Amino acid sequence: MKNFIQPGINLDCIAPYVLASGAGFQDGAEFAVASTDAANGAPVIGVTSGVFTLPKAAVAITRKTVAYWDNAAKVVTNVAGSNLKVGIFQAGALSGDASVAVKLVAAI
């Protein structure tokens, strides 16, 4: 097929701030997980599919509910508001838990 470009799982992104490998970030309307460390404004490969352990807000999480990215706090949450929809929680978590597993799903 002549018009196919790539599967779209690992994409060229620009780090919106200093990123450590495995950190979630928002690049425009897209959410990804950094495949390597990156300086603010540097190119980074963002992984947009898969299940990742991500830092979470201090809220209780119910398994198999929608996950949103709070770009101000740099955490996943179950609060929609103006947050970007990024996936599905793969596990439940208590409000005091620091992280939770999230399956990334296209936000559009």
What is the domain extent for residue 66? 51-104
CA separation for the pair 108, 104 (Å, rounded) = 12
Structure confidence at residue 8 (pLDDT): 86
What CA dihedral angle connects 9, 11, 16 and 17, to 10 degrees?
80
- Tens of pLDDT, residue by residue over 35-62, are 999 999 999 999 999 999 999 999 999 9
Verify that 44 and 24 share a domain, yes or no.
Answer: yes
Average pLDDT per consecutive 10 residues, the chain (108 residues; last block may be shorter): 88 97 95 98 97 98 98 97 96 97 86
Q: Is residue 1 part of a domain?
A: no
Q: Is residue 94 part of a domain?
A: yes
Query: Two tokens at 42?
Result: 């540097």
Verify that 22 and 33 share a domain, yes or no.
Answer: yes
CA separation for the pair 96, 59 (Å, rounded) = 7
Verify that 39 and 70 share a domain, yes or no.
Answer: no
Structure confidence at residue 7 (pLDDT): 86
Q: Given the structure tokens 């470009």, which residue do they identify?
A: 5
Sign of the CA dihedral with 31 first, then 103, 72, and 99 last: negative
Number of domains comprising the chain: 2
Structure confidence at residue 106 (pLDDT): 74
pTM of the model: 0.92
Verify that 32 and 62 share a domain, yes or no.
Answer: no
